[in-house]
Structures are given as C-alpha cells and as structure tokens.
Structure 1
Amino acid sequence: MNNAIFYLLKKTLPKSLKARLKAMQKKKREKQIASYKESGQVISGAMLEEQLTALGIKRGDSLLVHSSLSRIGYVENGPATVLTALSNVLGEEGTLLLPVYPFTSDVKSYVAGNPVFDATHTPSGMGKITEVFRKQEGVFRSLHPTHSVAAKGPLAEYYTGGHAGQLTPFNKQSPFFRLSANKGKILLLGVSLDSLTNFHTLEDALDFPYPVYEEQAYELQMIDVDGTRSITKTRVHNPEMSVKRRCNDFFDLFTREEVLVPGMVGIKECYLLDAEKLHDCMVRNFLEKGITMYTPNGK
C-alpha cells in the first residue's frame, strides 16, 4: 500500500483501533524474529559487509540510507551491527547519511500540532537504525523542522549545513540535492521506492506543474545544538497530491537507465541508486514525456 494512503487511513482510526493495530504489528515482528532465530537465519556484521560491498557500495562513497531493520531479517545486535557494517564498508573517507524526520504520520498532521523541533533531543520517527545513528558521537543533524538528515563523515557538515531556513525541504541547499550534485548513492535497505525521498528533488528543481505543496507556509519553532531558539517557515506536501504518488512504477525505468541496482542484503532484495543519475533521469523524462511520480505514464 502507498505510504501516504496508509498514513491517511491510520489517521482516521479511533485510538482503540490504533492501539490494536500497533500491538498486532509488534506481535508480528516478534514472531518473525523468533522464526529467524529458530531457523538459524542470524545475520552477522561480516555477512552484511560482504553483501553491501557486492551491491556496489565503496570506500569514500556518500551514502544515504532509507531502512527497515525488521525486513532484512534477524540481525545480530540489531541497529548497531547494521551501522557498523555500513561504516566499515564506507571507510573513514566515506560519509553516511540517514533521514531522521521527526514525524511518524503524514507531514501535515505533524506540523498542525505546532511541534518544537529540537536538533539535539527530538527523536527520529524513521525507525530504530536512524534513532541509534542520530545519537552517535560525531553525527551532524540538519536544522530543518520536518525533513532533517543526520550525517557522519568528512562531508557531514557540507550535507547538513545548508538546510536551515529553507522554505521547501528538497531544494538545492538540501542534503538530498547536494547528494545528487556530489555523485552520492542511495540505499533502500528493506524498503521500496515509496521511501525514496529524492523523488522530491525534481519538484524543487524545476517549475513543477502540479500543486504538490500546500500554499500555506507553516511557522515552526526550532532549537539548534547550542540551545538557540528560532522560528522558521516551511511548506508541506499537499495530502491530496501525495495519495497520487506511484513511486514503485519507476522500478523498470530506473533499472533500464542503470539508476538502480538490486542485490540481497540480509534476506531481502534491496536497491542501490545513483543519486545523480536518478535526478537526471527524472528531469529528462519529465521534460520529454511529462513523467512524474504523480503521472508515471506521462501527460
């Protein structure tokens, strides 16, 4: 199911049903983990490093990772093992980036609650791996109230430094666009193209014909790493457009144009994308055929 549709459906459920759904999901994950343990399908750090290298990740790469820990199998020692494996493959010359967005539902619902984004203390809503990474020593976090990114490595400040004060989260000052401009890579670790945030760089790079953003700009409070408070404006995606996204329809196109390479990580087929080729492919197909994730078959 499209993530945006799932979030909108979940939003309409009464609290009692939300609690039941959450409990069912937790029980399903626990049962799956128990099954992995019993069958001996325990994934080690060494196994992950071998698979990540085979997929095409190299020392010195800049790598943005969208992840789901439970979907790649039972990993020994959990998030810490995944992060260590990624760091070892990238080496000291590489820079690791993870999304640490503070919301767990749709963005509009999140900002409607007038949250205060604290760069040091606001947790990530993007899963266990991202939250463990956020707390690691030497990690920088971009100062954006809805789409902050955490980064560690020699280019961490470069990727995160321009995000503050941007009216839209994915423009040329964002970590997402800078990744494409710097020949970075994107790893979809246990997740589909629905999780590929870099789709949105197309919307901010060109005169986009669809109302993907709401007209209103929200004023949100932020606290930086020094404890300084400020107010920033940001626009959020229009939920009516978000439900029209058909991200996974791009799989064949991205494969043909060598934007995407599949490979096993853990027990799951995962995908490595070239961020520069991704952006160029989206721009070219939009300009020539009108193809976007809202209109995957063109105009």
Structure 2
Amino acid sequence: MHTVAVLALDQVVPFDLATPLEVFTRARLPDGRALYRVLTCGATPVVRAGAFTLQPPHGLDALAEADTIVLPGCAEAGPVPDEVLEALRRAAARGARLASICSGAFILAATGLLDGLRATTHWRAAGVLAARHPAIEVDPAVLYVDNGQFLTSAGAAAGLDLCLHLVRRDHGSAIAADVARLSVMPLEREGGQAQFVVHDQPPVPRGSVLEPLLRWLEDNAARDLTLAEIAARADMSARTLNRRFREQTGTTPLQWLHLARIRRAQHLLETTDHPVERIADEVGFGSPTAFRDRFKRVVGTSPRGYRTAFRG
C-alpha cells in the first residue's frame, strides 16, 4: 500500500495539515479498501498548530518508509532544522515523492531539491520565496506545479487541488472524482490553474511628491489618459515622471493606471450585475476585448470566471 507521510513542523497551519489527511484517507476502491496508509509525523514530540498543540504519533523515521511526503505550510517560515532537511534529502534520493502546500514550499526549497525547477506558493509569499531561492523559477499565478517527483501548490484550497491531482495520478480520474465529491470539491476548478490574486498597488512612501498624482489617477482612471496628460498634471516631463515613478513605485505611470483599473473592475465584478462590456467602459478600457485580455494577464482568469468564483 502507498504510504503518505504528512510532516507537521512547529507552527504548522492546521488547514494545510488537515487537507492531505482528509484527501488521502478518503481515497478508496469501490469495495471500500483504502488506497493509502497515512502517517502524521513530526520533528518534535509536541507541535504548535496555532490555537492548539498536537502530538504527532510518528517521528522523522517515518519519512524513511514513505512513498509520498507532504509538507504543509507553517505560520512562521523560519529556519528548517538540519535533521528535517537531511531526512527529506534521503527520502528524495531513494525516489520518494515530495509535495508542498502553501508556505511548505519554503521547507522543500531549503533542501535544494527545487533548484532549477518551476515552483509555486501562496501569491503573497511568492516574492519572498523567489528572493530567498533565486535558483527556483517561482510562478505565483498557478494552483500547483507538478515536476514529477517534486510538486508545489499555492495557498489553502490549492492544497486540495494538489492532493486530488496526486490521487488522479496514482489511481485515475474515477477514484479522484469520488474523493472530490466526498470533499464537496470539483475535481478540476473552472478557470484553469490560476490563483485569484488581489493585486496591491506598489507602495508609495508617505509624503512622496507622487501622492497627489496617484490620488488623481485613481479618481480619473476611467478616462482615456495619456502619458503626456499625466506628466502635465504632475508638472514634469514624461521622462522625469517615468524616472520618479520607477524610483518610488517600481513601475511606470501607465502600468500603475492599468492595475488601478483592474482593481476597480474586480470590485465591480464582485458587487454588481453589470455586464462585462459595461464594466470595461466604466473602468477605462477602450474595448471589452482589450479589457478581457488585460484582466486575464493580470488576474489569471477571465472576468466571467472571476465573477463566478467571487460574486457574493
């Protein structure tokens, strides 16, 4: 029987920990026989998990017999104990499959096993992961990445997508679909493998000379603004404005404006019944086609797919 070891390190995220336990224990043949032996293991006898503590019934020695090792995220992405890294490297060397959920990617990345590979994590942590591990190609816009032996997933519910994907890989779509139904979860989420990212505008230092201009841009985002008009409003040349913007926001005035429009569109998709064509016009895009293309590039799904997922 395929053995799955779920590693609970200190400050493990309870949701991330519960996800593989639930998915793999629900996977059964039509006659009711279990398909996975699931072990919860830890590096210490007692593990803090937010509002409670737990006592993993197995230690790191369980990793030596696991066919698949799942690494849930931890609330604090601190240094990973050396004995954990060594145990994971040994498991990988003998062919075990390693999969991370959310910030569990930091644990897997610390082993060096992801170097040269594509990986993902929660979009809020993607920049930190990329900065700490430049040898990894971090993709913040997908639900999970399957490199064969090493897999990573985005935050929270994306762990369900990853675990269902593993069941499907091991036992086919019919078994995985049964598990998905028991979890009240679609086997494949509509909208493709895209995280629904809320994109924050780049921060601007308080008191910056750009603050009044940025407020004006937000108030006038629906207008067909040109770089020349924005520069005139700022009483600067276009070249100077571009330089100041890059220094203080890391982007250009027009890119900042497009992001402000997309954020406004997300709000309208969530809170109104307006047709996509009307929203495109209200937020300042010249055509619905241009709006759909820009929205998909920034958010990772179509306006219709976003509304379906997030309409209250």
Shorter-chain TM-score above 0.5: no
- Which structure shows the higher strand fraction? 1
Q: Which of these two proteins has the greater Rg computed from alpha carbons?
A: 2
TM-score range, shorter chain: under 0.3
Tell me the TM-score normalized by structure 1. 0.28
